[in-house]
Amino acid sequence: MLKARMSNGQAWLEQAALAAFIDEGHFDRHLRRLRQVYKARRDCLVGALRRTFDGAVVLGGESGLHLVWRLPPGFPPARQIQLLAREQGIGVYALSSGAAYDFNPGARDDMLVFGYSSLNETQIETAVGQLQQILLEQADRGEGTG
């Protein structure tokens, strides 16, 4: 009775199963596999951006599941690209749309945030190709060059 009150009702069976999972090395193997999967996805995204956009400057790719692409001069603002991409089902986000920039209306709007954890390599390549098409269409309209 005291144990139940002290543990705030934590399920002992699930805790025991998790402890066994960790003790038997399954969690370490799971983490190693996920690191390989996410590294492959990150490398695919960085490679696709650099091939498609001639040496794109990519920031923050060393950790996490997101990275930032600094748009070259002459490209449309990142917020505009975000909206156009969203219309095509591509989830990229302008860094300037984050709360850290909301207090400075004059902040640069030349960085796009990419998340890659839920996409496979084929989907990443397709999305970068679609993004290229969006930017080419904008350049044809005279709304930035890509």
* Helix-, strand-, coil-residue percentages of the chain, each rounded to 5: 55, 10, 35
Number of domains in the chain: 1
Quote the pTM value.
0.81
Q: Is residue 145 part of a domain?
A: no
Give the pLDDT mean for 49-57.
Answer: 94
Average pLDDT, the chain: 88
Q: Whole-angstrom Cα distance, residue 116 to residue 124?
A: 8
Task: Please give the pLDDT value at position 97.
Answer: 81
Task: Please give the pLDDT value at position 1.
Answer: 57
C-alpha dihedral, 103 to 107 to 109 to 113, nearest 10°? -60
Q: Whole-angstrom Cα distance, residue 144 to residue 110?
A: 12
Give the pLDDT mean for 85-90.
Answer: 94
Q: Is residue 146 part of a domain?
A: no
Task: Please give the pLDDT value at position 146.
Answer: 47
Give the pLDDT mean for 62-74.
Answer: 92
- CATH classification at residue 99: 3.90.1150.10
The answer, yes or no, to whether residue 93 has pLDDT greater than 50, is yes
**What range does the domain containing 121 cover?**
2-140
Q: Whole-angstrom Cα distance, residue 110 to residue 131?
A: 15
Q: Which residue, among 144, 124, 125, 126, has the nearest Cα to 136 in the 3D structure?
A: 144
pLDDT-derived band at 7 (thresholds 50, 70, 90) equals: low
**In sequence order, what E strands does 1-146 have?**
57-59, 66-70, 92-94, 111-115
SS3 43: helix
* Burial zone of 107 (CB within 10 Å; 0-12 exposed, 13-18 middle, 19+ buried): middle
Top pLDDT among 97 and 21 is at: 21
Q: Whole-angstrom Cα distance, residue 93 to residue 105?
A: 17
